[in-house]
């Protein structure tokens, strides 16, 4: 890492404790978790680096306000059960967050230690406690007396699980509707096993169920029940967290050839349906020798790293330069260590297939960077007469997702953004319909696990206030406060 030497020389407390990881040459041959986690000694050593700031800036960077110094202190004292309890006051999915949160841009970005060296590795410590708890059995908090209110939460991903857990802890009766046969949303279908083992996700979901959430699998809201029907069935409030599952496409000719996958299809086959175990598992995946992944986000990195594990040579084609890659730095480094090649500043133009309709190559156009747009995003434009062709027998399109349209299409009057189909909400997740809240990717477009959890938390709080302070539907005070 850049600048590490200087930091080491000045003060060893400025250097974080490395987390053991599988070696690249080995891990690229298996689907086991790459990062192996801290031992107790490592965790205590890292916990010692926390300065226990009186006014901790790290908490300000956490979308769900985890009392960070307080749980780190518990580690120092060896009070692991208390430590995990502290985290769970705010975060019901610590084993997930400890693994996939972009801590470097959140809590750890604000850490005072980070000014002179490595910030305290908050994520690794959170993971340590969560893993400790899983090995020692989770404590279930006592049930809050019932408020008599019924809530429907739609979508069992990070936003929905968080909202459901918070609401049930407040004493509401919560039914969580999940369209797939497994809950977890992107945690189950999207993030690969080697970054987030699925048995850990299942344990977190079981915890949420043990809190009292009634989980209904295989229920696609919008089809089996619509939002107005749920209202009629007596749900006092509804939280829509149906995610951003609809894949975006390049629009280039030949995109419907065999061997061209959306990132979602690829991920669902491999992660949810465990196609890497085919034929032991029934769902197959077909992958060639030369895979091109189009895109540059975390999803693209996941697809690339899976492809390498399935035995392919993988090239990432991204239309901007390395500097603009939106994926987490750590993921890019992991992928490159495992053998990912990158081809920057080019965009797909056309896909060519063989006589059987399977992709064999693609034509790309070189791009150049232009001025940034008003959002500060680097612009790009094609360079004339710069097209080139590359061989590829598998292509994975990982250029983003928009919300699934089924609920929006079946809920009359629900306000959505016509450009991308996101549900329009205020900062607490209120939609324009009384009693209907929304949050997570369905409201923001594709984002991170923790930001979805933050949205779930804020909405849960707002829903609680709505249910406890305001009158029944139709008698809501005009101020809305």
Partner 1 sequence: MYRIVSKERLAHKQTLFEVEAPEIAAKAQPGQFLIVIPTEGGERVPLTICDYEADKGTVSFAFHEVGKTTKELGTFEKGDRLFNVTGPLGNPSQIGKYGRVLCVGGGIMIAPVLLQAKAMKAAGNHVTTVLGSRSEEFLFMREKAASLSDEVHLATDDGSVGEKGLEFLTDLLKKERFDRCVVMGPVVMMKMVSEITRPFNLPTIVSLTPIMIDGMGMCGVCRVTVGGNMLFGCVDGPEFDGHLTNFDELIKRQRTMLPEERLSSILWENKGRCKCGRN
CB of 416 to partner 1, least distance (A): 15
Taking the least distance from each CB to partner 1, the nearer of 309 and 328 is 309
Residue 77, token pair as written in the block: 């004292």
Residue 130: how many other CB atoms lie within 10 Å: 26
Nearest by Cα to 130 from 192, 76, 88: 88
CB of 373 to partner 1, least distance (A): 27
Residue 478: how many other CB atoms lie within 10 Å: 5
Taking the least distance from each CB to partner 1, the nearer of 279 and 474 is 279
Residue 113, token pair as written in the block: 């230690």
Taking the least distance from each CB to partner 1, the nearer of 108 and 402 is 402
CB of 445 to partner 1, least distance (A): 15
Side-chain-side CA neighbours of residue 210 (13 Å): 13
CB of 109 to partner 1, least distance (A): 32
Taking the least distance from each CB to partner 1, the nearer of 160 and 259 is 259
CB of 406 to partner 1, least distance (A): 6
Contact criterion met (CB below 8 Å) for 162 and 456: yes
First CA to last CA distance, the chain? 49
Q: Report the interface residues with partner 1, using CB under 8 A.
A: 179-181, 189, 217-220, 223-225, 245-247, 249, 255-259, 261-262, 264-265, 268-269, 273-274, 278-279, 281-286, 356-358, 404-406
Alpha carbon distance 78, 237 (integer Å): 42
Helices (H) and strands (E) in the chain, counts: 18, 16
Taking the least distance from each CB to partner 1, the nearer of 76 and 246 is 246
CB of 424 to partner 1, least distance (A): 20
Taking the least distance from each CB to partner 1, the nearer of 186 and 301 is 186
Taking the least distance from each CB to partner 1, the nearer of 268 and 291 is 268
Nearest by Cα to 443 from 157, 110, 40, 96: 157
Contact criterion met (CB below 8 Å) for 397 and 249: yes
CB of 415 to partner 1, least distance (A): 21
Q: Which helix (H) or strand (E) holds 267?
A: helix 263-267
């Amino acid at each position: 890492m850049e600048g590490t030497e200087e930091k080491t020389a000045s003060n060893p407390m400025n250097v974080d404790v490395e987390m053991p990881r599988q070696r690249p040459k080995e891990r690229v041959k298996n689907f086991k978790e790459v990062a192996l986690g801290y031992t107790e000694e490592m965790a205590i050593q890292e916990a010692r680096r926390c300065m226990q700031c009186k006014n901790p800036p790290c908490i300000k960077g956490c979308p769900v306000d985890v009392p960070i110094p307080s749980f780190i202190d518990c580690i120092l004292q060896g009070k692991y059960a208390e430590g995990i309890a502290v985290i769970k006051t705010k975060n019901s999915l610590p084993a997930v967050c400890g693994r996939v949160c972009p801590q470097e841009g959140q809590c750890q970005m604000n850490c005072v230690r980070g000014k002179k060296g490595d910030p305290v590795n908050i994520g690794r410590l959170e993971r340590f406690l969560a893993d400790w708890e899983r090995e020692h059995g989770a404590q279930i908090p006592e049930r809050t007396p019932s408020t008599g209110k019924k809530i429907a939460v739609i979508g069992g991903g990070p936003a929905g699980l968080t909202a459901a857990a918070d609401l049930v802890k407040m004493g509401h009766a919560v039914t969580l509707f999940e369209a797939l046969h497994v809950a977890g949303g992107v945690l189950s279908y999207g993030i690969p096993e080697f970054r987030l083992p699925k048995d850990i996700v299942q344990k977190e979901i079981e915890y949420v169920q043990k809190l009292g959430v009634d989980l209904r699998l295989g229920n696609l809201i919008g089809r089996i029940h619509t939002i107005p029907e749920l209202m009629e069935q007596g749900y006092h409030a509804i939280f829509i967290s149906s995610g951003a599952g609809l894949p975006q496409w390049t629009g280039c000719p030949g995109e419907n050839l065999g061997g061209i996958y959306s990132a979602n299809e690829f991920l669902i086959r491999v992660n949810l349906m465990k196609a890497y175990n085919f034929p032991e598992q029934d769902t197959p995946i077909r992958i060639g020798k030369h895979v091109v992944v189009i895109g540059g986000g975390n999803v693209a990195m996941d697809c690339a790293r899976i492809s390498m594990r399935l035995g392919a040579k993988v090239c990432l084609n991204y239309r901007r330069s390395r500097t603009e890659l939106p994926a987490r730095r750590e993921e890019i480094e992991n992928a490159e260590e495992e053998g990912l090649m990158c081809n920057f500043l080019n965009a797909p133009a056309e896909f060519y297939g063989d006589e059987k309709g399977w992709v064999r190559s693609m034509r790309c156009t070189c791009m150049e960077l232009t001025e940034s747009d008003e959002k500060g995003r680097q612009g790009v434009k094609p360079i004339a007469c710069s097209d080139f062709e590359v061989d590829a027998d598998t292509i994975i399109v990982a250029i983003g997702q928009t919300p699934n349209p089924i609920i929006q299409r079946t809920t009359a009057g629900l306000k959505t953004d016509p450009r991308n189909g996101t549900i329009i909400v205020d900062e607490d997740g209120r939609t324009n319909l009384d009693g209907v809240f929304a949050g997570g990717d369905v409201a923001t477009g594709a984002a991170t696990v923790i930001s979805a959890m933050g949205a779930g938390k804020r909405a849960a709080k707002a829903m609680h206030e709505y249910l406890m302070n305001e009158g029944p539907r139709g008698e809501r005070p005009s101020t809305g406060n």
